[in-house]
Amino acid sequence: MDRARKIAALCLAAVFLVTLTVFAAAKIKGYSAKVKHNGTNVFIQVMENAYSTPTESAYLKDSKNKVLLRWKGHKPQKVYRLKDGTLNSYFPYNINMYRFKPGKYMLVTNSYKGTRGVPFTYTGRTYLQYKSTKVVRNNNGDLVQRFYFRRGNAKGKMLNAQIYNSKNQLVRSFKFKSGNSNQLFTFNWNGWPGKNSASRCPRGVYTLKYWVDGASPKTTKFRLAI
The pLDDT assigned to 5 comes to 54
Give the residue with greater pLDDT, 99 vs 54.
Answer: 99
Full-model pTM: 0.60
The pLDDT assigned to 155 comes to 87
Average pLDDT over residues 200-224: 95
Among candidate residues 218, 191, 224, the one with its CA nearest the CA of residue 205: 224
Q: How far is CA 139 from the centre of its chain?
A: 36
- In the predicted structure, residue 88 carries a pLDDT above the cut 90: yes
- In the predicted structure, residue 195 carries a pLDDT above the cut 70: yes
Instruction: Give pLDDT tens digits for 10-36.
Output: 554 444 333 333 333 345 678 999 999
* Measured CA distances, 162 to 23, 41, 55, 78, 210 (Å): 46, 25, 47, 40, 6
* pLDDT-wise least confident of 8-12, 65-69, 138-142: 8-12
* Percent of the chain's residues with pLDDT above 90: 69
Domain 25-122 grouped into CATH 3.40.50.2000 = no
Domain ranges of the chain: 25-122, 127-224
User: Which phi and psi angles does 27 have, rounded to 5°?
Assistant: -100, 0
The pLDDT assigned to 15 comes to 40
- In the predicted structure, residue 150 carries a pLDDT above the cut 90: yes
Domain 127-224 grouped into CATH 2.60.40.150 = yes
Among candidate residues 159, 118, 93, the one with its CA nearest the CA of residue 21: 118
The pLDDT assigned to 37 comes to 86
